[in-house]
Protein backbone atom coordinates (compact mmCIF):
# COMPACT_ATOMS: atom_id res chain seq x y z
CA UNK A 1 0.00 0.00 0.00
CA UNK A 2 1.46 3.32 -0.98
CA UNK A 3 2.12 5.95 1.64
CA UNK A 4 -0.46 8.38 0.20
CA UNK A 5 -3.21 5.76 0.34
CA UNK A 6 -2.33 4.95 3.95
CA UNK A 7 -2.42 8.65 4.94
CA UNK A 8 -5.75 9.14 3.18
CA UNK A 9 -7.30 6.09 4.96
CA UNK A 10 -5.88 7.28 8.28
CA UNK A 11 -7.53 10.70 7.84
CA UNK A 12 -10.79 9.01 6.86
CA UNK A 13 -10.71 6.79 9.96
CA UNK A 14 -9.83 9.74 12.21
CA UNK A 15 -12.75 11.70 10.82
CA UNK A 16 -15.14 8.76 11.36
CA UNK A 17 -13.85 8.18 14.89
CA UNK A 18 -14.29 11.88 15.78
CA UNK A 19 -17.85 11.78 14.40
CA UNK A 20 -18.62 8.67 16.47
CA UNK A 21 -17.20 10.32 19.58
CA UNK A 22 -19.32 13.41 18.95
CA UNK A 23 -22.44 11.24 18.45
CA UNK A 24 -21.74 9.42 21.74
CA UNK A 25 -21.48 12.78 23.53
CA UNK A 26 -24.81 13.89 22.03
CA UNK A 27 -26.45 10.63 23.09
CA UNK A 28 -25.10 10.96 26.65
CA UNK A 29 -26.27 14.57 26.78
CA UNK A 30 -29.71 13.60 25.45
CA UNK A 31 -30.01 10.84 28.09
CA UNK A 32 -29.11 13.28 30.86
CA UNK A 33 -31.63 15.79 29.54
CA UNK A 34 -34.27 13.08 29.32
CA UNK A 35 -33.57 11.98 32.90
CA UNK A 36 -33.82 15.56 34.15
CA UNK A 37 -37.06 16.14 32.25
CA UNK A 38 -38.55 12.93 33.63
CA UNK A 39 -37.62 13.94 37.18
CA UNK A 40 -39.15 17.39 36.69
CA UNK A 41 -42.35 15.87 35.28
CA UNK A 42 -42.61 13.56 38.28
CA UNK A 43 -42.13 16.51 40.64
CA UNK A 44 -44.83 18.51 38.87
CA UNK A 45 -47.20 15.53 38.90
CA UNK A 46 -46.54 14.98 42.62
CA UNK A 47 -47.20 18.63 43.39
CA UNK A 48 -50.38 18.59 41.31
CA UNK A 49 -51.70 15.48 43.03
CA UNK A 50 -50.78 16.92 46.43
CA UNK A 51 -52.71 20.09 45.63
CA UNK A 52 -55.70 18.06 44.43
CA UNK A 53 -55.52 15.92 47.58
CA UNK A 54 -55.36 19.05 49.73
CA UNK A 55 -58.31 20.60 47.93
CA UNK A 56 -60.33 17.40 48.32
CA UNK A 57 -59.44 17.26 52.03
CA UNK A 58 -60.46 20.89 52.52
CA UNK A 59 -63.77 20.31 50.73
CA UNK A 60 -64.48 17.24 52.83
CA UNK A 61 -63.59 19.12 56.01
CA UNK A 62 -65.91 22.00 55.03
CA UNK A 63 -68.76 19.56 54.39
CA UNK A 64 -68.23 17.79 57.72
CA UNK A 65 -68.09 21.12 59.55
CA UNK A 66 -71.34 22.26 57.96
CA UNK A 67 -73.01 18.97 58.90
CA UNK A 68 -71.82 19.20 62.51
CA UNK A 69 -72.96 22.82 62.77
CA UNK A 70 -76.40 21.83 61.49
CA UNK A 71 -76.60 18.99 64.02
CA UNK A 72 -75.65 21.37 66.81
CA UNK A 73 -78.34 23.86 65.76
CA UNK A 74 -80.96 21.11 65.68
CA UNK A 75 -79.88 19.91 69.12
CA UNK A 76 -80.09 23.45 70.50
CA UNK A 77 -83.51 24.01 68.93
CA UNK A 78 -84.91 20.83 70.50
CA UNK A 79 -83.86 21.87 74.02
CA UNK A 80 -86.58 23.11 76.34
CA UNK A 81 -86.51 26.89 76.95
CA UNK A 82 -85.96 26.40 80.72
CA UNK A 83 -82.83 24.35 80.18
CA UNK A 84 -81.32 26.66 77.59
CA UNK A 85 -78.09 28.26 78.53
CA UNK A 86 -76.97 31.30 76.62
CA UNK A 87 -74.38 30.54 73.99
CA UNK A 88 -71.56 33.10 74.24
CA UNK A 89 -70.88 35.12 71.13
CA UNK A 90 -67.36 34.24 69.94
CA UNK A 91 -66.80 37.86 68.91
CA UNK A 92 -67.69 39.36 72.31
CA UNK A 93 -64.99 39.70 74.97
CA UNK A 94 -64.88 36.86 77.49
CA UNK A 95 -66.85 37.42 80.72
CA UNK A 96 -64.94 37.18 83.98
CA UNK A 97 -65.79 34.10 86.01
CA UNK A 98 -67.95 34.37 89.11
CA UNK A 99 -66.43 34.38 92.58
CA UNK A 100 -64.41 31.27 93.30
CA UNK A 101 -65.93 28.58 95.46
CA UNK A 102 -64.12 27.78 98.67
CA UNK A 103 -62.28 24.54 98.19
CA UNK A 104 -59.73 24.57 101.01
CA UNK A 105 -60.49 23.56 104.59
CA UNK A 106 -63.59 22.09 106.26
CA UNK A 107 -67.00 23.66 105.87
CA UNK A 108 -67.85 26.03 108.64
CA UNK A 109 -71.34 25.98 110.05
CA UNK A 110 -73.03 29.28 110.49
CA UNK A 111 -73.44 30.49 114.09
CA UNK A 112 -76.93 29.74 115.39
CA UNK A 113 -78.96 32.87 116.17
CA UNK A 114 -78.78 34.08 119.74
CA UNK A 115 -81.87 33.11 121.68
CA UNK A 116 -81.25 35.86 124.27
CA UNK A 117 -81.73 38.68 121.86
Listed by start position, the domains of the chain span 3-79
pLDDT at position 21 is 96
What pTM, to 2 d.p., does this model score? 0.41
pLDDT at position 77 is 84
Find all residues with CB under 8 Å of 95, minimum gap 6, and list them. 88
Query: CA-to-CA distance for 79 and 86, rounded, in angstroms?
Result: 12
Q: What is the mean pLDDT of each run of 10 residues along the chain (117 residues)?
A: 90 95 96 93 85 84 91 81 59 67 62 59
Find all residues with CB under 8 Å of 94, minimum gap 6, and list them. 88
Amino acid sequence: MPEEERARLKEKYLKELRERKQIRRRIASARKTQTIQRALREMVDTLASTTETGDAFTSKLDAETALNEARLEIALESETPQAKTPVPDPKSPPQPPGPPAKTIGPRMKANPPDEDA
